Structure 1
Amino acid sequence: MARDDPVRSQTAPTDTDRLPNLVTVVGRGVPSSFEIAVDGEIELVADEPASNATIVTENVVEGAIDVGVQRFRFSGEMANVHVVDWNGVPAPESSSTPYVHVDYGVDR
């Protein structure tokens, strides 16, 4: 008698499964720069990543923002966040640096 192959789930892991955490960078109306490092992987949540941010390695992104929002999904833990305003003044000395918010274990 022939042995049937086991049935395997046809559901591929989603970005939410692979990258369960979310970091949001919100511009405050002043050109600013940011660098985000994680101890896992990080990816920009956007249709055209090259037009919004530069992914330096699989676990570090850097970019610029003045208005709007940029979101990144990541795995692991946040390792470092560095934000500076257009004069190079870092947070918290500058009130113009982007707001950065981190959510762990989000499904969207």
Structure 2
Amino acid sequence: MSSEGSLTNRITIVGRGVPSNYEISVDGEIELVGADPLEEATVVTDHAAEGAIETGVMRFQFSGEMANVHLVDWNGTSAPESPSTPEVHVDYGVPPRENSN
């Protein structure tokens, strides 16, 4: 993976209390911040991450540009049709976070 200094963009996924799945991909590199991928059932490859969230927040740092976000609720209904899918925030040009929640 890239050095932390080049991962200056952030994706924050906020659960809404309903089991939901997410898939995100970027044209650079991506890594999970402040959580153990095994405990969170999150799969992270060089350019993509996918997993499940019900409550709480998942944060990822990435380089490059956001390529794709796909969110579905427990019924498989995609955003924006489902008000239960997680919120996603993308921020560009932010300093890398230390491994904290």
TM-score normalised by length of structure 2: 0.88
Cα distance in 1, alignment partners of residues 8 and 37 from structure 2: 19
Higher helix share: 1
Cα displacement (A) at 1:38: 0.1
Residue matched to 1:82: 70
Residue matched to 2:6: 18
Cα distance in 2, alignment partners of residues 34 and 64 from structure 1: 6
Aligned positions, number: 94
TM-score normalised by length of structure 1: 0.82
Question: Aligned-pair RMSD on alpha carbons?
Answer: 1.4
Residue matched to 1:27: 15
Determine which structure has more spread, i.e. the larger CA radius of gyration: 1
Q: Any stretches of 5+ residues in structure 1 without a counterpart?
A: 1-12
Q: Any stretches of 5+ residues in structure 2 without a counterpart?
A: none
Q: After the TM superposition, which segments of 4 or more aligned residues of structure 1 sit over 4 Å from their partners?
A: none
Which one of 57, 62, 68 corresponds to residue 50 of structure 2? 62
CA shift digits 1:8-49 (9 cap, x unpaired): xxxxx962x220000000000000000000000000002422
